[in-house]
Amino acid sequence: MLLKYFTFLSLIFVNVLAEEKDVVELTDDTFSHELERLENTLVMFYAPWCGHCKRLKPEYAKAAEMLLGNDPPITLAKVDCTESGKDSCNKYSVSGYPTLKIFSRGDFVSDYNGPREAAGIAKYMKAQVGPASKELSGEACLKSFLDSDEVSVVGFFEKEDSALATSFHAVSKKLKEKVRFAHTTAKSLLEKEGHKNAIVLYRPKILQNKFESNTVEYVESMGDIQEFINKNYFGIAGVRTRDNEREFKNPLVVAYYAVDYVKNPKGTNYWRNRIIKVAKDFPKLNFAISSKDDFQHELNDFGIDFVKGDKPVVLARNANNQKFVMKDEFSVDTFEAFLKDIEAGTLEPYLKSEPIPEDNTGDVKIGVARNFDEIVTNNNKDTLIEFYAPWCGHCKKLAPIYDELGEKLATEDVEIVKFDATANDVPAPYEVRGFPTLYWAPKNSKNNPVKYEGGRELDDFIKYIAKHATNELKGFDRKGKTVKPKSDEL
């Protein structure tokens, strides 16, 4: 049994080494020398105890493997900021982990602001060090370029300095981190492909289907090249990931299931093709497929804790960001009916909300999604709203001060409200990106709330509210100083 245990440990150790073997380990002694030797390098400054670093490491190692043999060469390296690389980390002002920076022959180029998964890291780095558009000299080059699992855009030009070619190269420089570009002026290739002055978007083989063309051609009469690429890049139903999710705009319909083009491309496309079959008839809506595991947080926002079985779960947001859940089990027919109901506006939006409190008579009112209009929007009072998270340390520190504020202003024409933004949908036009977030909503301008950026002591709140209240407070003047009741002025 003991022998089996040590064998198991040794296998783990070998696997770890295998994952890390393509990443160069740097120290203060080797940092400058190694980077000067290497043509293009992405360096991860890390701390061994850092959770984000631990999550990034396997993706970083995979990216290093994917970049082997790239032309021009790209190396991925790492340096431990807590031990042998302290001086190097200090030199480049590393204050958080992981921090990634790009170098060329020892010179710092830029901070890395790209994706944090393997394919995204590799794609981003290729865009940084190579030309925005690869020149193709013949048929073999085109075939090799298109042998990819990514969308590719190729410009075919009779003259390299034509207006279309110039516009193409300008767009390729803008979009090089997202799109693979190539171009050619080779007459033999232009004749064989049948394009003289055109730009062609090629869908990768893995995403091709019978419901949309494998290629989309742009000609000058279409107008903006970048708009053409953005419109056609994802096709009828794009593969939406954590790295590209912001590129998908409302109104958006997303099918969540076991999307995995590495381990199960056939099964992934089985459902995607059924989605496309219906989606092609609804051009006013945008569509995507997403991994149910990668987007569990979105499923939670729609009240779904777990996706059972293989069939997709379909969720949608309309142009106003209202949420809708397809309640029926997925089929071509139920999906089509759901989309028709969305376009007709006959579905009731899903609202994530805690129950409305049975007793809400406290000095600080409790807001939830289902009573927000009553407690805030239509209360005919100036309102200060705190959007908080129960686990947030700053929120806990603010709580007693906020309660005291409610007590101080209990008789004023002002409502003090708290709202758990983790358990309730935050209504528009409020935006919450951190906790606590506070807004001031004047009673005559509830559609234009103002983000509160002042201090968080009791006096800070009172001075702010006294100054901005629609009607002057009874107990405080406009500067926030206490006003004595008239009965005391004898």
141 carries an active-site annotation: no
Written as six digits, the tokens of 360 are 């809400």
| Under 8 Å between Cβ of 215 and 169 | no
Calculate the CA 232 to chain-centre distance: 20
50 carries an active-site annotation: yes
Q: What's the 3-state SS for the chain?
A: CHHHHHHHHHHHHHHHHHHHCCEEEECCCCHHHHHHHCCCEEEEEECCCCHHHHHHHHHHHHHHHHCCCCCCCCEEEEEECCCCCHHHHHHCCCCCCCEEEEEECCEEEEECCCCCCHHHHHHHHHHHHCCCEEECCCHHHHHHHHCCCCCEEEEECCCCCCHHHHHHHHHHHHHCCCCEEEEECCHHHHHHHCCCCEEEEECCHHHCCCCCCCEEEECHHHCCHHHHHHHHCCCCEEEECCCCHHHCCCCEEEEEECCCCCCCHHHHHHHHHHHHHHHCCCCCCEEEEEECCCCHHHHHHCCCCCCCCCCCEEEEECCCCCEEECCCCCCHHHHHHHHHHHHHCCCCCECCCCCCCCCCCCCEEEECHHHHHHHHHCCCCEEEEEEECCCCHHHHHHHHHHHHHHHHCCCCCEEEEEEECCCCCCCCCCCCCCCCEEEEECCCCCCCCEECCCCCCHHHHHHHHHHHCCCCCCCECCCCCECCCHHHCC
| Distances, alpha carbon 332 to alpha carbons 154, 238, 276, 335, in Å | 35, 18, 10, 5
The one catalytic residue in 50, 81, 89, 141 is: 50
Residue 65's Cβ-count burial label (10 Å; 0-12, 13-18, 19+) is middle
Q: How far apart are CA 153 and CA 293, in angstroms?
A: 31
81 carries an active-site annotation: no
89 carries an active-site annotation: no
| Distances, alpha carbon 259 to alpha carbons 187, 201, 236, 268, 446, in Å | 41, 24, 16, 5, 42
The one catalytic residue in 53, 81, 89, 141 is: 53
Return the active site residues.
50, 53, 392, 395
